[in-house]
Chains A and B, each alone.
Chain A
Amino acid sequence: MAVTNIVLAGLGGQGVVKASDLLSTTAFNAGCEVKKSEVHGMSQRGGSVTSDVRFGDKVLSPMVPMGEADFLLVFESSQVDINRGWLKPGGVLITPDAIPEGALRNRKSLNVAILGALSVMLDFEEDQWIRSIHTCLAEKLHAVNEQAFALGREVGQQLGRVKETEGV
């Protein structure tokens, strides 16, 4: 399996690091070699945060090279343009605009909804994702995040259909 490169970007407090934990845990439990890195510190104060997740048979550097991301997940609209350079040509960009925010039971679970949209484009089973939600989040947050994840999957399936139509 070739290395899949995913960059997650947003602002401090949006759950960028938590989302990358969920993603890397899912890939790890599925048997992939995973490397995940992020820079935090000052970013805890509402500044920009990005996290890189790479998985496959063999992963070396923990950082996604600029212009080589297969997927770019952006959690805050203002961060889309500054992060666009990570995507490789033909890579998939998922932004918060794709998620009908009003349908989220809790605005804070936007990060998990975006992961839901991503999940339909990756080869991991749905219940592996749900297991990651259970291991990485506190119990009281399980239901709300499962709802967000399911919503994201619906969005992702629609995105996928749009892509297929465009491809015709």
Chain B
Amino acid sequence: MASTERLLLSGNEAVALAALHAGVTLGTGYPGTPSTEILEAFDHMGGPAQWAPNEKVALEVALGVSFAGARSLTTMKHVGVNVAADPLFTAAYIDMTGGLVLVSADDPGMASSQNEQDNRHYARAAIVPMLEPADAQQAYDFTLAAFELSERWKVPVILRMTTRICHAKTEVHPGPERPSSIQPGYERDIPGRVMIPAYARPAHHKVRAKMEEIAQWNEQSDLNQIHPGDRSLGIITSGVAVMHAREAAPEATILALGLTWPLPMKRIKEFVESVDRCVVIEEGDHLLYEALKVAGLDVEGKPEMYRFSELNVPRVRRILAGDTTPEAKPPRGKPPELCKGCSHREVFEALSRMDCIVAGDIGCYTLGVLPPFEAMDTCVCMGAAIGVGLGLRHVLPEDQARRVVSVIGDSTFVHSGLTGIAEMVYNPPPTGHVVLIVDNSTTAMTGRQEHPGTGRSLNHEPANKMDFGAVCRAMGVKNVEVVDPQKPGEDFEGRLRAMLEKDELSVMIAERPCILAAPLIRKFEKAQEEKQAQCSAAMTD
């Protein structure tokens, strides 16, 4: 029930507020645009939140919370779900106890991502219900509904957001708190939670049966809404496309789907039959259109050209008009660049001068690919720098192999670099290999979040700090050096050249705090010193 309180919230803030009102016991995730602010807002509102080293671990922790009978929220961007996919697909087979909601924040148009994947596919592939809000109010309402669905059917639920939901501020009327009625506590359920084949086989049947039940429930659910209008044009849509469609075709009658998997097929069929012409308006892939065609429904999809990038009101107008003439090219803005004074500049200038073959990775330093540096040869996904660099080293002729360097950031190294080091130690190429960890003491790309290498937790309070050099040495890397790339006396380039000449495994940690984060880091450190001084003063009193 909506209250009179009226707030202007981003979709991310709305999810955080709903998580608070749902009594979420732990929020965990990995920062990734456009999802990052959910956990930060949740922490700010007083909810317990923490950054995990990566999305797989975040989901695993969330599963443990659920098994203990408490509600958990796990957040990530679309490509993060790929990392979490391994536990996700089996989680669907397991009975959730406390509600578990996974937020997938997709980035159609790739404002800050390496691909444009449509994570609606995951709901079908992993056999998990999916909710898609159309604005911040629905982000709030659907988060609460997702926890209730999760507990009612004991399933993990995906809340799929997109950039224009996450980062768009719209009006929210929050309701009363709706915490779980389940009390935390452990109850053993070996066949329910240990997915050996003998237990997983019946679990697969069980989850398909659950989805049937949810589909039945969805036929009547008010998570889907009809916006009545003229019966000559019907539109079936979901997510932010609902808003574009309502604006582009105010006269049309619109079925706005909220629980988009499993689909309420009877209701959709009735809708299609009630209108003269029915068009499916969906952002990204042709998922919904294909599902309806397979069900034998007479619907129109969108031309292939609208699969790419975001939808908007003019594009929806064009789809409805069947217009496939070339679209006006959007203005080309100024591309981003490495900040003035950023220590990655020295690193990429050196790599460029040395004509290195650079296997790169995901983070601010990916900007080393742009002029004037143009010093990055590959970028695939988080952690790929090390694996790809090793592959190159294995087969290139020696003179080229010796020029291969894997460049990876500090947060990315923790996220997905450690297993790459294990591979390097286990299967070393004949010329050895050089991994360059560009450590700027923060997750700079997503807005300066903490990670296990910074020594501070999500709320910037002190935490255990992972020592990259010690870890690499302990894993069997022979040469480990720490260098400040901006200090001329430390001879970054000379030392890197020496490493490249050896047939050995080397890790160089180029350490220099991010120029944007440095003042904040000093502030956190100062606050900590003051706290410690107060404590020791109190002890001596």
Contacts and interface: CB of A to CB of B under 8 A. Distances in A.
B243 A61 contact: yes
A49 to B, nearest CB: 8
B336 A35 contact: no
Interface in B80-134: 109, 111-112
Contacts of A47: 333-337
B463 interface: no
B313 A45 contact: no
Given A40-B33, A61-B312, A65-B312, A46 B167 contact: no
B244 A61 contact: yes
Contact of B313 (A33, A48, A61): A61
Interface stretch (A76-84, A91-99, A123-131, A145-153): A76-84
Interface string B287-325: 000000000000000000000001011100000000000
Interface string A58-72: 001111011000000
B169 A63 contact: no
A25 interface: yes
A38 B11 CA distance: 12
| Residue of B8, B171, B244, B367 with highest tally of chain A CB at under 10 A | B8
Nearest to B333: A48
Given A48-B333, A62-B243, A41 B34 contact: yes
B331 A65 contact: no
A4 interface: no
Contact of A38 (B167, B243, B247): B167
B170 interface: yes
A141 interface: no
Contact of A83 (B111, B243, B331, B339): B331
A62 B330 CA distance: 18
Contact of B333 (A34, A40, A41, A79): A79
Interface string B434-467: 0000000000011100000000000000000000
Contacts of A45: 336-339, 364, 367
A66 B310 CA distance: 13
A45 B444 CA distance: 10
B333 A24 contact: no
A82 B339 contact: no
Contact of A39 (B167, B247, B331): B167
A24 B171 CA distance: 11
B361 interface: no
B312 to A, nearest CB: 5
B169 A66 contact: no
Contacts of A35: 135, 168-170
A11 interface: yes
B247 A48 contact: no
